[in-house]
């Protein structure tokens, strides 16, 4: 069970590390997907597209003027947002336990993708997404959520074991 007596900051750091791991794995699987099924013109998933820059620009009231600035904004948002969102998992785990938290975290991540891209990123609403893009989003966020949960749980178990030895 998740240790609710542990400092919240430690949980947040574990979630951040889990988010970084999840973002890394999701990035790799998106690249693989682009190689296998991408046509070079349409995104395989909106998480790996210019829609990320459009959404970030809407929030920040910033429009990149060059391709390099767009790429930089994409990378900052992709890695920063992906890592930061992982902080939500340990908070959910404190309340729901690890398994329910993993499911709730996945639903929350997918809900964000289904609402943020149409609202801020200039995509159609999810019911008008191409099936391939919707399926990719569902699978990619499942991968991300599973890696975040597994990473945060592993770090939590390690910290608990180290704490028991030190007591």
Tell me, what DSSP letter sits at residue 123?
A: P
The predicted model scores a pTM of: 0.88
- pLDDT of res. 163: 56
Q: pLDDT tens-digit profile of 69-88?
A: 999 999 999 999 999 999 99
- pLDDT of res. 167: 45
- pLDDT of res. 40: 74
Q: Which segment of 12-21, 29-38, 58-67 scores lowest on mean pLDDT?
A: 29-38
pLDDT class of 2 with cuts at 50, 70, 90: low
Sign of torsion, CA 58 29 98 19?
Answer: negative
pLDDT at residue 139 above 80? yes
Counting residues of the chain whose pLDDT is more than 70, the rounded percentage is 91
* Average pLDDT along the chain: 89
For residue 120, what are its two tokens?
A: 């801020």
Burial class (CB in 10 A: 0-12, 13-18, 19+), 109: buried
């Amino acid at each position: 069970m998740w240790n609710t007596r542990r400092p919240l900051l430690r949980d947040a750091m574990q979630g951040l590390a889990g988010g970084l791991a999840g973002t890394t794995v999701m990035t790799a699987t998106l690249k693989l997907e682009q190689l296998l099924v991408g046509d070079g013109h349409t995104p395989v998933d909106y998480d790996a597209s210019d829609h990320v820059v459009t959404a970030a620009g809407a929030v920040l009231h910033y429009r990149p003027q060059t391709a390099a600035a767009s790429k930089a904004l994409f990378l900052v948002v992709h890695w920063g947002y992906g890592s930061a969102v992982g902080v939500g998992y340990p908070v959910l785990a404190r309340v729901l336990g690890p398994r329910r938290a993993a499911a709730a975290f996945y639903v929350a991540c997918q809900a964000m993708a289904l609402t943020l891209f149409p609202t801020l990123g200039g995509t159609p609403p999810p019911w008008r997404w191409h099936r391939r893009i919707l399926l990719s989003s569902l699978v990619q966020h499942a991968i991300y959520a599973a890696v975040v949960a597994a990473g945060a749980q592993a770090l939590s178990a390690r910290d608990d074991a180290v704490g028991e030895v030190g007591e």
